[in-house]
Amino acid sequence: MTGYDAAEGLTPFRDESGYGSILFDVTRVRQPTPVWFSPTHWGEHARPVESGGRGGAWYVDTPFGAMLLRRYLRGGLASKLSRERYWWHGGSRTRSFAEFRVTREAALKGVPVPRPIAAFYRREGVFYTAAILLERLENVRTLADRSAVASDGAPWEEAGRLIARCHRAGLDHADLNAHNLLFDPAGRGWVIDLDRARLRIPETRWRESNLRRLERSLRKVRGERSLEEVAVHWKRLRGAYEQAWERGY
């Protein structure tokens, strides 16, 4: 849990579906409302994100800037019971509020992440639903997209250095995969989707767990590449990671 942040605002609400709150960046928005977190509210100004994820994200053009709207959806066996409802354990422990705050704190530690604008939850009895609005990154592609072709155009060394930078700041990403690393044409990178991420003391065990997850992801999305090529590219990424880690950044 982070300490007091003067840039945070909190707006409670109640409607016919339940009640909840919106946590937001007061330097970017002033009066957030629950309808902001519904893609239908934005009409033709919202379009689905097609690559990665579980189908719960949209690019949204708003009066306060270009945003990414993401609803929290369950995967795996849990989705058979409920696709979007989570057990209630308190407002500060909702997925949206937790991600908003860990993303802000990671940014303060120098991790390149999209700026969180507002986070929402609606409680319905013992369950809640949630969504988050984040600043949209323009002209970027995922490492998965960049690596799915046979030509060696993916930013392997840049990815290794980006992950080392995250780990040096103590960011334990719960789902470090090739869809959650974005790069622009110049090779500048960002890490996204900090749902369930934590900031902690950098230790070998969780850092290695992050890296193993990413390696599995790269094998899964290898596209035209052979497993041998994946191994060669992984060696480049891992080598850049180790070199950056040893240098302390």
Query: Which residues are marked as active site?
Result: 175
Which backbone phi and psi does 104 adopt, to 5 degrees?
-60, -45
Exposed, middle or buried: residue 209 (CB in 10 Å: 0-12, 13-18, 19+)? middle
SS (HEC) of 50-66: CCCCCCCEEEEEECCEE
DSSP state of 115: P
**Of 12, 232, 192, 213, nearest in space to 102 by CA:** 192
DSSP state of 19: E
DSSP per residue, 135-200? EPPPS-EEHHHHHSSSSS-S-HHHHHHHHHHHHHTTEE-TT--TTSEEE-TT--EEE---TT-EE-
User: Do 118 and 157 contact (CB within 8 A), yes or no?
Assistant: no
DSSP state of 224: T
Helix (H, G, I), strand (E, B) or coil at 201: coil
